[in-house]
Amino acid sequence: MQERIWEEVDEIREYVVDARHFVHRNAEVGFNEHATTAFIKSELETAGIEMVPLAIETGVLGIIRGTAEWTGAGEPPTIGLRADIDALPIEEATGAPYASQNKGVMHACGHDGHTAILLAAAKVLQKNRKEFAGTVKLFFQPAEETLYGAAKMIDCGILENPPVDAVVALHGGVEIPIGSVAVYPGPFMASGDIFKVKMIGKGTHGAYPHRGSDALAAAAQAVISLQMILAREIEANERAVLSVCQIHGGNAFNVVPQEVEIAGTVRCFSPEIRSKIRDRLESICTHIAASYRCDAVCDYTFGIPPVVNDLEETELLAEAARDVLGPEKVIRLANPMMGSEDFAYFLQRVPRGTIFRLGVGGDTPISLHNPGFNFPDEALPVGVAVFVRYVLKKLGR
């Protein structure tokens, strides 16, 4: 079957490259992916793939139904394969002949590659429907970069009718060489929370600070003291980050400002640590404010949950990858990542699932979100082969 898969992938080699270049040229930011959505729809239609209308303007749900007889227990499973389709508000500097024609917008995170890979995998699967049973749902998801797209698409009911038993996605990784993939079972990508703290004091003349109360000094103290939560209150083996990334206050060199606001993000992997950091952040800021004769208004938003890769599904995906790439090309990552990914919402609803890293790292890798990043065409067939092999492993006759 492995040779069969590569034969099939060889047939769409040119197609997958052309598809990526088209998507790259038509880069669009989250919830604005109109040309990209039209392209995906027309490609699926040409391939004869069923689509289900969604209550959002961008993004596509495609459905492929296997025609083989299911020999396993119960109903044949439904698998979801997800690709994010949005670009970033970055001015492109790749110099590629197919560079973005939309000024100030480019595919700097490689979602053009993800989209092309899923389109090509869909074509191969549609052509080989007799090789598997069950259902494959194709999730072309908008607005991953804003971290709102997955939840919006899930709200459209894409995980129902038939219910999805397992979900898989990939993301390019520049730390992984082209030709290889990397997996990580368990908590893989961090949750992403947002906090804002407003220190409210009493504004006064810079020459007479004792007549007011200094919100700026209270905020400065908070910026430093918040790090003590991680240093002194979270066990050293736990992974957590708290970063204050904004501070706003003051308009003149001789006025002690009345209000100063700080804002930042918290990244970690467990609900307990998340709650603890939230509680301690509020308590520390409130007490610092009091000690500076100020008030603190804390606003903590639980954002995206962590990505938790299912152990068994990750192993199955790794096996599929080993089948088509060889064991030496499948890397087990040593550490999780502190970044976030809205595929977390899929995994929250369908715990049997995994996201893996597809190697896109060349000799001198350029980081994701850099204006010079360009998803390497050579990595595309690798992603297609792994997706197809995974489906056949799970649903094949």
Residues that bind Zn ion (CB under 5 A): 109
First to last CA, the chain: 11
Q: Tokens 């890769």 sit at which residue? A: 309
In angstroms, give the least distance from the CB of 339 to Zn ion. 8
In angstroms, give the least distance from the CB of 300 to Zn ion. 24
Distances (CA, A) of 135 to 64, 69, 161: 6, 12, 11
Burial of 176 (0-12, 13-18, 19+ CB in 10 A): buried
In angstroms, give the least distance from the CB of 221 to Zn ion. 34
In angstroms, give the least distance from the CB of 171 to Zn ion. 6
Residue nearest to Zn ion (CB): 109
Question: Judged by CB, which is closer to Zn ion: 109, or 189?
Answer: 109
Cα radius of gyration rounded to whole Å, the chain: 24
Question: Judged by CB, which is closer to Zn ion: 67, or 146?
Answer: 146
In angstroms, give the least distance from the CB of 355 to Zn ion. 11
In angstroms, give the least distance from the CB of 84 to Zn ion. 6
Question: Judged by CB, which is closer to Zn ion: 115, or 258?
Answer: 115
Question: Judged by CB, which is closer to Zn ion: 56, or 368?
Answer: 368
Question: Judged by CB, which is closer to Zn ion: 86, or 214?
Answer: 86
Distances (CA, A) of 77 to 37, 124, 160, 394: 27, 19, 13, 8
Question: Judged by CB, which is closer to Zn ion: 109, or 153?
Answer: 109
